[in-house]
């Protein structure tokens, strides 16, 4: 079994250097390492060139922004049976690829494997455990918590983009959805592809022992962590609705739409989140709510157009 490692990177050369060092330390080496970088990002290409003298690293150049385009460009160059994906600000631990390959070898029905990313905030590791990871509850709440997962390996609905891998046969004809919006991270692209893989009949496995250290590098786009940006909030809500359209069966999909509208999350607030934050005197929640509704409205229009084309 050949394993390709795929790392999209943009203007974070120090982070990328640490990531490639971690890939060099793997107990089961990658057969191919692809780093996707944007044209003009000379510092990133310099890191790729330097590591190319020690590792089977290949540069993949893109000339448009967005993680989706970067990941799809990398997938086109993959020559492995499995592609293991991580972020440039993550550092896979030494057993990462060996454990990933072991899962895929154990069952031909496994289409994706992921694990825990140990998050560091300003150098301090974020602690906490969760037995419920990577699922969409029956009423529509999306539970991530991949960074806190404990327990045995188990089937899940979704994996996290910083630590995920796929059998090429499972995603070759799916790819990352180019309808997703955003100038950089294009939030929920990992949920979108995972639900599409599940819909195609493949298993997704989360193993807390498949681990990376995740240092949360700086984002160079409008979608900043812990900061409200109206355009980014619209894009995030738009992407979430497209992703939830992959939920099956239909009654669960409708429950998910209702839950997100009525309750939601702090990043895409529904009515209950708005009420809670107003009670605490947080005024910007109204801006986030309006942006979320606009994203959902635009996504509904896009889905309607898509359905009409499919029926034509």
The per-residue pLDDT for range 2-26, each reduced to its tens digit, is: 999 999 999 999 999 999 999 999 9
Quick check: is 225 in a domain?
no
Which tens digit of pLDDT belongs to each residue from 111-153? 999 999 999 988 899 999 999 999 999 998 999 999 999 999 9
Domain end (from 152, 184, 214): 214
Question: Which is it for strands 124-125 and 82-86: parallel, antiparallel or unpaired?
Answer: unpaired
Q: Tally the C-alpha atoms within 13 A of residue 278's C-alpha that lie toward its C-beta.
A: 11
Residue 289: give the domain boundaries: 230-311
* Spatial CA neighbour of 205 closest among 295, 50, 82: 82
Residues 18, 119 share a domain: yes
Domain end (from 214, 246, 274): 214
pTM for the whole structure: 0.91
Residue 108 has what pLDDT?
A: 98
Quick check: is 200 in a domain?
yes
Cβ pair 209, 99 in contact under 8 A? yes
Average pLDDT over residues 205-215: 98
Residue 226 has what pLDDT?
A: 53
**Into how many domains does the chain fold?**
2
Residues 271, 180 share a domain: no
Quick check: is 286 in a domain?
yes
Residues 266, 130 share a domain: no
The dihedral built from the CA positions of residue 99, 101, 106 and 109, taken in this order, carries a sign that is positive
Average pLDDT over residues 79-107: 98
The structure tokens 């509704």 sit at 293
Residues 300, 178 share a domain: no
Q: What are residue 163's DSSP bridge partners?
A: 86, 160
Residues 113, 261 share a domain: no
Residue 307 has what pLDDT?
A: 53
Buried b (16+ CB within 10 A) or exposed e, 98-127: ebbbebbeeeeebbbbbbbbbbeeeeeeee
Quick check: is 95 in a domain?
yes
Residue 183: band (very low, low, confident or very high) from pLDDT cuts 50, 70, 90: confident
Percent of the chain scored above 90 by pLDDT?
A: 80
Q: Residue 281: count other Cβ atoms within 10 Å of its Cβ.
A: 7
Residue 306 has what pLDDT?
A: 61
Least confident stretch, 50-54, 100-104, 285-289: 285-289
Residue 227 has what pLDDT?
A: 59
Residues 71, 29 share a domain: yes
Q: Give me the CATH number covering residue 42.
A: 3.90.550.10
Quick check: is 222 in a domain?
no
Residues 132, 80 share a domain: yes
Token pair of 33 as six digits: 């390492």
Quick check: is 224 in a domain?
no
Greater confidence, 281 or 207? 207
Quick check: is 223 in a domain?
no
Residues 274, 175 share a domain: no
Residues 238, 192 share a domain: no
Residues 264, 203 share a domain: no
* Spatial CA neighbour of 176 closest among 35, 64, 72, 65: 72
The 3-class secondary structure across the chain, one letter per residue, is CCEEEEEECCCCHHHHHHHHHHHHCCCCCCCEEEEEEECCCHHHHHHHHHHCCCCCEEEEEECCCCHHHHHHHHHHHCCCCEEEEECCCEEECCCHHHHHHHHHHHCCCEEEEEEEEEEEECCEECCCCECCCCEECCCCCEECCHHHECCCCEECCCCECCEEEEEHHHHCCCCCCCCCCCCCCCCCHHHHHHHHHHHCCCEEEEEEEEEEEECCCCCCCCCCCCCCCHHHHHHHHHHHHHHHCCCCCHHHHHHHHHHHHHCECCCCECHHHHHHHHHCCCCCHHHHHHHHHHHHHHHHHHHHHHHHHHHC
Quick check: is 264 in a domain?
yes
Residues 32, 149 share a domain: yes
Tell me: pLDDT of 158 over 80.
yes
Cβ pair 33, 20 in contact under 8 A? yes
Token pair of 40 as six digits: 């003009």
Domain end (from 159, 184, 214): 214
Tell me: pLDDT of 294 over 70.
yes
Which tens digit of pLDDT belongs to each residue from 248-292? 899 999 999 999 999 998 888 999 988 888 887 766 788 899 999
Residues 289, 140 share a domain: no
């Amino acid at each position: 079994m050949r394993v390709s490692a795929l790392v999209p990177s943009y203007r974070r050369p120090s982070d990328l250097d640490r990531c490639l060092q971690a890939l060099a330390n793997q107990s089961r080496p990658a057969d191919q390492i692809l780093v996707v970088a944007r044209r003009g990002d000379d510092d990133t290409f310099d890191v790729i060139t330097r590591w190319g003298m020690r590792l089977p690293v290949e540069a993949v150049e893109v000339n448009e922004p967005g993680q989706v385009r970067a990941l799809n460009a990398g997938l086109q160059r993959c020559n492995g049976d499995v592609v293991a994906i991580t972020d440039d600000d993550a550092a896979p631990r030494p057993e990462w690829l060996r454990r990933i390959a072991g899962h895929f070898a154990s069952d031909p029905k496994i289409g994706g494997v992921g694990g825990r990313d140990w998050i560091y905030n300003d150098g301090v590791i974020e602690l906490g455990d969760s037995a419920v990871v990577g699922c969409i509850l029956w009423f529509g709440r999306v539970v991530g918590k991949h960074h806190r997962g404990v327990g045995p390996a188990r089937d899940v609905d979704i994996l996290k983009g910083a630590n995920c891998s796929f059998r090429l046969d499972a995603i070759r004809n799916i790819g990352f959805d180019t309808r997703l919006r955003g100038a950089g991270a294009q939030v929920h692209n990992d949920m979108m592809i995972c639900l599409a893989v599940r819909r195609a009949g493949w298993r997704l496995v989360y193993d807390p022992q498949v681990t990376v250290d995740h240092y949360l590098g700086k984002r160079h786009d409008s979608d900043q962590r812990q900061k409200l940006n109206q355009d980014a909030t619209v894009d995030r809500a738009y992407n979430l609705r497209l992703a939830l359209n992959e939920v099956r069966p239909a009654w669960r999909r409708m429950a998910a739409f209702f839950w997100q509208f009525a309750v939601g999350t702090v990043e895409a607030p529904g009515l209950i989140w708005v009420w809670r934050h107003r009670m605490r005197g947080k005024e910007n929640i109204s801006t986030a709510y309006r942006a979320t509704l606009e994203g959902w409205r635009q996504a509904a229009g896009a889905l309607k157009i898509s359905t009409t084309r499919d029926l034509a």
